[in-house]
Amino acid sequence: MFDPYTLRKMITEHGVTVTLRKKSTGAYNTTTGKVTQTNTDYTVQVYFFNNDPSVGQFSIAAKAERRAVVSDRLSDGSNTPDIDSSDELIFQSNIITVTRSSKITSSTSNMCQLLYLQD
């Protein structure tokens, strides 16, 4: 079984604090013809890696695919919500969109979430 302590320590010591913006779809507004969207912001520790722009689409830095490991706990100590594609990370006024996510677990407890990101 994997020891989650080491992973959590890496995220805490080498990660950064970012805003996780969860997007949820609301009701359809018949007047405007649009579906409302509600954003909920959370503060969480994230460790970014694979920030090499040559990995991205056509080697353009702005289109680089990046990865991140998100702590299983928010900054307030509560559990990090499940992150979905199209949720966003806000870091240094940059908005980074999540394209894929997966949970990393040890036994039955969540340790972190692995994200694929697109600038």
Nearest residue to 85 via CA among 113, 50, 45: 113
What are the chain's domains? 4-118 (2.40.10)
- One-letter amino acid for residue 116 of the chain: Y
Stated pTM of the model? 0.78
Which residue pairs, CB below 8 angstroms and at least 24 apart, start in 35-43?
41/90, 42/74, 42/80, 42/81, 43/17, 43/18, 43/19, 43/74, 43/75, 43/76
102's CB contacts (< 8 A; 6+ apart) are: 113, 114
Q: For residue 112, what are its two tokens?
A: 């972190």
Tens place of pLDDT per residue across the chain (119 aa): 566 678 888 898 999 999 999 988 778 888 888 888 889 999 999 998 876 555 444 444 455 678 899 998 899 999 999 999 889 999 888 899 999 999 888 776 778 889 988 87
